[in-house]
Amino acid sequence: MRPARNLQQGPHTTFVQSMVRSHGRDATAFDARILDDGSVAVSGPMGTALYPLGGWTSKFVRHLEQGYFGPATAAADQEGG
Whether 35 is covered by a domain: the verdict is: yes
In a domain, 64, yes or no: no
Give the number of domains in the chain. 1
Classify residue 4: in a domain, yes or no.
Answer: yes
Say if 2 falls within a structural domain.
Answer: yes
Does the pTM of the predicted model rise above 0.75? no
Is 45 a member of any domain?
yes
Q: Order the strands of the 6-9 sheet from edge to edge.
A: 6-9, 31-35, 39-44, 47-52
Pick 5 or 56 by higher pLDDT: 56
Q: What are the E-state strand segments in 14-67?
A: 31-35, 39-44, 47-52
Between 61 and 3, residue with greater pLDDT: 61
Q: Tens of pLDDT along 39-80?
A: 999 999 888 999 999 999 999 999 998 888 876 544 444 444
- Residue 8: domain span: 1-54
